[in-house]
Structure 1
């Protein structure tokens, strides 16, 4: 089969984009557009290992290590993992998706004897035109948008949410509001932020004293949500659990705290965290 490098690189860049979007939803970490584009470009460029032809064990080992290096570079570029365990988790998820996708393609190749799919050195090649790639990508994007819209409306249909924050022996539970406008992400970890509007939490961590704020691991970032706008003090410490009736879900996120003042205490979260 004749392999066209442009089709090879573009299709694998799109596959990398799909993997990264799936992982982002699993770990609840938003990827900045520039880093996502760079990671996809690396994934596409890494597909060039399909051009290597080897029949020796050493060559196969080199190709395998090369593929692992490409995946590692994609993960680091996209997520900038804060520690080794976070890197390993994302590396495992990316590898798992490679195995599932590659396995499905391999099965289709053998069952249908398709001539448009070709697998070599852990890389899939689709013998289709760039126009077909564009059409398929557009259809996939529309499907993703429809799915997210349905999930957000489904989540927003429930009115009585509660959010519990736990850190050590301290625990507080507040009424919660599902707000699709809360797209706030922590600038250090990239994780979404659940905003707790509570004087109790504000006093607990002494957020009006800069020295104590740093001691507890908080840093200020600007925000804008249904409760207003200003500065919110964010930390990655602690656990957040959102419940609705009998259903409960621990969400992977950062926590932002602002004083409630004369307003009622509540938490504000993006319903995407529940999907």
Structure 2
């Protein structure tokens, strides 16, 4: 019988479990605090320790299913059952990937346990990065560039053209009219907005809806343009973006004037949409004529 060193067992399992949970989080685009991942890793480590004495139940299929379910629940706290199933499936996939890598390294017979765990982590991360890059390229292929002209007040004669991205993932709609909306950077449209509105969003962010609404009400004529657009994203189950109905919106893919769209709401986002200002607005696919 081989000797088992408890400190080595804890070290290896904590590292592997944490890395697997972390990669699962990245693959699923799921934000999770480090201490939640650490707690999930600790549960897996405790399982490994207890299995030395309670191997009959813990090594059974039911025991392993219960363990993985508990790790997923603690690490990600999914609120919906379908999210739990999705996270569990990704967790199993990442686990099997690492198990295969680890087994392949062990077959070489040239590494010890500690170095095996580190080699597995390194190779696993490289594979995940390659897969993530392929997914990113696929998403970029589903997007294309355009130009959008935005003018909130037709009589103001101060509209701007912005580089935009036609994003197939942009499904935001005005809840009252059902029409698609545009998401644009605040700084790109600041010159078109009342000064008090742009300054309020800069100071408080788009999440402070009550403050934004109170400020808009003080800007004459802008209260009728004001809209609240619900959205869902990672870390924001029930987010709301402030928006304004624009009098003139044109979208062009070929550098021309483009077709004019009616009743379009432009949502404001206080951060940059791209690192190099390659695009400063996001359009829905149905905005292209």
Q: How high is the TM-score relative to the length of structure 1?
A: 0.51
SS in 1 for 2:44: helix
Tell me what 1:165 maps to.
Answer: 171
Q: CA deviation at 1:104?
A: 2.1
Which residue among 89, 93, 97 is the counterpart of 2:94? 97
The residue number in structure 2 matching 1:76 is 73
Higher deviation after alignment, 4-13 or 44-53: 44-53
Residues 24 and 31 of structure 1 are in contact (CA less than 8 Å); yes or no, is this contact kept in structure 2? yes
How far residue 76 of structure 1 moved from its aligned partner, in angstroms, is 0.6
1:44-66 per-position Cα deviation (integer Å, ceiling 9, x unaligned): 22222552586xxxx37853322
Shift of the 135–22 alpha-carbon distance from structure 1 to 2, 3 Å rule, reads closer
| CA contact 1:23–1:90 (8 Å) conserved in 2 | yes
**Are 1:161 and 1:175, in contact at CA under 8 Å, matched by a contact in 2?**
no
The alpha carbon displacement at 1:25 in A equals 1.9
TM-score w.r.t. length of structure 2: 0.49
Of 174, 186, 202, the match for 2:182: 174
1:106 aligns with 103
Partner of 1:211: none
CA RMSD of aligned residues (A): 5.1
Unaligned ranges ≥5, structure 2: 146-162, 190-199, 210-228, 247-265, 276-289
C-alpha change, 1:166 and 1:7, in structure 2 (3 Å) is: same
- Contact in 2 for aligned 1:12/1:44 (Cα 8 Å): yes
CA distance in 1, matches of 2:32, 2:181: 29
Distance 2:178 2:203 in 1: 27
Bigger Rg, which one: 2
How many Å separate the matches in 2 of 1:86 and 1:3?
A: 37
Partner of 1:63: 60
Relative distance call for 1:93 and 1:133 in structure 2 (3 A) is closer
1:253-274 deviations in Å (ceiling 9; x for gaps): 6543124599x74446588xxx
Distance in 2 (CA, whole Å) between partners of 1:270 and 1:73 is 37
* Counterpart-to-counterpart distance in 1, 2:12 and 2:108: 21
1:215-234 matched pairs, under 5 angstroms: 227-230=202-205, 232=207
Distance 1:61 1:78 in 2: 20
User: CA separation in 2, counterparts of 1:47 and 1:61?
Assistant: 9
Question: In the alignment, which residue of structure 1 is the partner of 2:85?
Answer: 88
Paired with 1:265 and 1:105, the residues of 2 have a C-alpha distance of 48
Aligned residues: 195
C-alpha distance in 2 between matches for 1:252 and 1:38: 19
User: How far apart in 2 are the matches of 1:76 and 1:38?
Assistant: 10
Q: 1:119-167, CA deviations, whole angstroms, 9 ceiling, x for partnerless residues?
A: xxxxxxxx228xx989998x89x98xx99xx9xxx99xx9643553345
